[in-house]
């Protein structure tokens, strides 16, 4: 009997793999059953998991939440509790694949995105939580420097808060430098995953287009992130860049189906996993289908799209102030990390 599960078809028949985008333990079990080989977490997902399942988490965290913890220590403890719970479920995958699969992300404090010393100290701490941790660092100039150091020290990283071709090129360049430093020291280098938050770029460009009253249809906007991702993927193949791309923040099943077949990772939230369990989803590889040049031309009237799409559209020192970066860091901080700092047991 034919398996109508698109996610399992994807894993078994293409080079595309996928990670589960949720920290909820019940949802994670379902994701693993459908073929997920890694887990994406962030401060928002961690806080949401804790808030939605208080009866599950409170007994687990109660013994570790002491009165003497600073707010940041409290947030780190809660992050560690949720992340290591997921990491244990992926341990066998990590071992079976000889460290190729089975990673779980642990994100540094988003409010420290420009603070090299603080992020590096956090990365070193987080990497000790479990062997299959990939420390999440923001793609800012500071975050990229920390990435290079981490890789040289054998710490695996996920470069996140990333939306553009210039950012993923910068990730690859820093990763390669980190590998060189590790080899000079005779050490094993860390792995690197490079994120493109595809839907968040679309969201931002939609607002930019509306604000400027640009003559761009919604059908063009929904292809902006795809255009950026396909160009980034093409450059990675051409240059032989080693990080594995992770496509996150999907806004519909089309973000999945139009990239099917690429040697990359899709980070898929449970609500989009459900859309992809239908037998109606087309089983075909579409990564080599180009976004129409006419769509690119129309989108290119937006300065912010050109900054995202052109390989030299931004310099690393511009990444922190780029609109989607500020939006995402603020969200991760205000409705993710800060609530963790203020978490109380009922």
DSSP helix, strand, coil percent of the chain (3-state; round to 5)? 55, 10, 35
DSSP letters of 134-164? EEEEESSHHHHHHHHHHHHTT--EEEES--S
pLDDT grade, residue 1 (50/70/90)? very low
Distance in angstroms (rounded) separating the CA atoms of residues 71 and 201? 31
Among the ranges given (108-122, 267-281, 284-298), the one the predictor scored with the smallest mean pLDDT: 267-281
pLDDT digits (tens, 9 = 90+) for 136-164: 999 999 999 999 999 999 999 999 999 99
What's the topology of domain 6-341?
A: TIM Barrel (3.20.20)
Q: What is the pLDDT of residues 289-341, one digit of tens each?
A: 999 999 999 999 999 999 999 999 999 999 999 999 999 999 999 999 999 99
* DSSP secondary structure code for residue 20 in this structure: E
pTM: 0.96
Provide the CA 161 distance to its chain's centre, in angstroms.
7
CA distance 7 to 295: 29
pLDDT digits (tens, 9 = 90+) for 210-256: 999 999 999 999 999 999 999 999 999 999 999 999 999 999 999 99
Q: List the chain domain ranges.
A: 6-341
- Residues 190 and 183: their CA atoms lie apart, in Å, by 11
Instruction: Specify the residue for token string 């969201």.
Output: 203
């Amino acid at each position: 009997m034919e398996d109508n599960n698109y996610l399992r078809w994807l894993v078994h028949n293409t080079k595309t793999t996928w990670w589960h985008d949720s920290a909820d333990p019940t949802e994670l079990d379902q994701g693993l059953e459908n073929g997920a080989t890694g887990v994406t977490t962030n401060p928002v997902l961690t806080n949401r998991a804790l808030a939605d399942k208080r009866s599950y988490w409170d007994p687990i965290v109660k013994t570790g939440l002491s009165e003497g913890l600073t707010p940041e220590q409290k947030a780190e403890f809660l992050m560690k509790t949720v992340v290591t719970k997921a990491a244990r479920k992926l341990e066998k995958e990590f071992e079976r694949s000889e460290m190729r699969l089975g990673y779980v992300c642990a994100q540094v404090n988003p409010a420290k995105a420009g603070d090299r010393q603080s992020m590096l100290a956090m990365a070193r701490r987080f990497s000790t939580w479990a062997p299959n941790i990939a420390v999440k660092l923001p793609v800012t100039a500071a975050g990229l420097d920390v990435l290079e150091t981490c890789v040289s020290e054998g710490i695996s990283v996920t470069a996140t808060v990333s939306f553009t071709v210039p950012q993923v090129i910068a990730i690859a360049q820093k990763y390669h430098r980190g590998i060189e430093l590790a080899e000079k020291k005779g050490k094993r280098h860390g792995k690197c995953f490079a994120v493109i938050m595809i839907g968040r770029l679309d969201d931002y460009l939609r607002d930019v287009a509306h604000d400027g009253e640009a003559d761009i249809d919604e059908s063009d906007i929904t292809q902006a992130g795809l255009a950026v991702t396909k160009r980034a993927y093409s450059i990675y193949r051409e240059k032989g860049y080693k990080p594995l791309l992770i496509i996150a923040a999907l806004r519909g099943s089309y973000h999945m189906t139009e990239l099917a077949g690429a040697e990359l990772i899709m980070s898929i939230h449970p609500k989009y996993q459900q859309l992809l369990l239908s037998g109606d989803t087309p089983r075909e590889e579409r990564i080599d289908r180009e976004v129409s040049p006419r769509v690119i031309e129309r989108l290119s009237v937006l300065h912010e799209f050109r900054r995202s799409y052109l390989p030299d559209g931004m310099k690393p020192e511009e990444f922190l102030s780029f609109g989607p970066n500020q939006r995402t860091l603020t969200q991760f901080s205000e409705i993710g990390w800060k609530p963790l700092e203020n978490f109380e047991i009922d």
